[in-house]
Amino acid sequence: MFTTPRLIIVATAVALLAGCASPNPYDNQGQAESGSTGMSKTAKYGGLGALAGALAGAAINHDNRGKGALIGAAVVGASAAGYGYYADQQEKKLRASMANTGVEVQREGDQIKLIMPGNITFATDSANIASSFYQPLNNLAGSLKEFNQNQIEIVGYTDSTGSRQHNMDLSQRRAQSVATYLTSQGVSGTNLSARGAGPDSPVASNADANGRAQNRRVEVNLKAIPGQQYGGQQQGNVEQFP
């Protein structure tokens, strides 16, 4: 007979092993996280998701905590691993398409962030897209159409020069310009939002020209759509152990 603790451990181990078997898009690309041991993000998300799901399932199914743990681990672990793999693949292609464009691609947990610096995006005090910005935006549009299961947040930022209200308005118009262009290129606007943050959240000091230039930027944040299943996971039949 399997006890509840054993079932939780088994469910978690299975999810971790499944994740380890998934292709790692960082292999031979020199972009592995510092201190990485080779475990893919898919494995991390699947294992942690399975553990959380197992605990939740055991708590919910009072009559049979073992069965509840297995169901929770299977459903939550598969969902987390599915998005982890999905984001891995999108990140890999974004890094390739944004190479030599000036756009920085960052991975923050289960989110992808693109940082588009002011020297390629907009002229001073303008919300009109600069000519140097079209190619990165076209590349991004292609990715967002291929990987069309993202929640997309576009955020405009300015430096601290001028009034706060002016900068808030300018950053909003810039973010909206990016959103409008992406949708004109076929990107769905269903899960897309745009907002201006003005001088908030600076990434450098506004005391010198170089710092102000870094703060003038547009960021595009990609993350999972709440409630969305990734990778076609379906809850299968779970055998009840005696």
pLDDT of residue 73: 46
Is 56 a residue whose pLDDT tops 70? no
Does residue 206 sit within a domain? yes
Number of domains in the chain: 2
* Residue 192: predicted pLDDT: 98
Final residue belonging to a domain, choices 33, 68, 96: 96
Same domain for 109 and 219, yes or no, is: yes
What pLDDT shows up at residue 208? Answer: 95
C-alpha distance from residue 217 to each of 72, 120, 122 (Å) = 41, 9, 9
CATH number (domain holding residue 166):
3.30.1330.60
CA–CA distance, 14 with 239 (Å, rounded to integer): 15
CB 121 within 8 A of CB 130: yes
Q: Using the predicted structure, report yes or no on whether residue 84 has a pLDDT greater than 90.
A: no
241 domain residue, yes or no:
no
Please write the tens of the pLDDT for every residue from 174-226. Answer: 999 999 999 999 999 999 999 999 999 999 999 999 999 999 999 999 999 99
SS3 content of the chain, % helix, strand, coil (to 5): 50, 15, 35
* 108 and 220 assigned to the same domain: yes
Range of the domain at 198: 103-224
Let me know if residue 167 belongs to a domain. Answer: yes
Q: Is the pLDDT of residue 161 over 90?
A: yes
